[in-house]
Amino acid sequence: GTITDAEKIISKCKQAGVLTLIDGAQAVPHMHVDLEKLGCDFFAFSGHKMLGPTGVGVLWVRKDVLETMNPFHGGGDMIREVHKFETTWNDLPYKFEAGTPNIADVVGFGAAIDYLTKIGMDNVREHEVELTKYAMDKISKVKGITIYGTKDISKRGGVISFNFSDVHPHDVAQIIDEEGIAVRSGHHCAQVLMEKLDVAATNRASFYIYNTKEDVDALIKSLEKVARLFKLE
């Protein structure tokens, strides 16, 4: 749930002459992102995290980096000329647009982006900050729960990772699923971090523009059921 200080990391990478790729799938849907300010070389995010279709996303690459790269897919618009002993690539961005694009999902993704733009990313962020603060206050009062990440709400996304003492996250997820609450349990693509925290896994509750304080209350009610079932003090 903690917002990574990407600018600091990118600055250190630049000093070492290292290219940087930022996974912005949990950032772009939730807050304003300024790529020029970040200064990264690659930036990726997905459609399904921001109300769009699955299987579609964006990979932004700094132009001077793209100009030095060779295509990694072949076919269609990525070719300028083909001869018996020589082939030349098309101009950017066509050099990397091989074959028929995923037109339908891209159109759907565009509609999702328009929708969020109309709402305003500052408004999206404000809603999540309010909801996350409310949830943090409530969850911290449930017996037996440990919350991971900073307590500074201004440095958190709309995500809260937590564990019950002596209760496996998969068991927690199954129990609260029976109450109509969906959380993710597992490594969350961060197994190295799980090892650092010395845990098998964690539960993760996440919020978005469609969530309300009533949803948080329902989550708390289900977590209190877990505490009662396992007699946690």
Distance in angstroms (rounded) separating the CA atoms of residues 50 and 121? 11
Distance in angstroms (rounded) separating the CA atoms of residues 156 and 117? 22
Q: What is the dihedral of CA 77, 83, 86, 91, to 10 degrees?
A: -20
Tokens of 44: 């990726």
Distance in angstroms (rounded) separating the CA atoms of residues 153 and 148? 13
Which has the closest alpha carbon to 160: 189, 191, 129? 129
Instruction: Clarify whether 189 is annotated catalytic.
Output: yes
| Active-site hit among 189, 196, 198, 214 | 189
Coil, helix or strand at residue 21: strand
> Sign of the C-alpha dihedral, residues 115, 119, 122, 124?
negative
Tokens of 114: 């328009």
Q: Give me the helix-helix angle, 213-229 and 121-139, nearest 10°.
A: 30
Tokens of 34: 């300024």
User: Would you give the DSSP letter of residue 201?
Assistant: -
Distance in angstroms (rounded) separating the CA atoms of residues 13 and 61? 16
Distance in angstroms (rounded) separating the CA atoms of residues 97 and 6? 28
Beta bridge partners of 233: none
Q: Which residues are annotated as catalytic?
A: 189
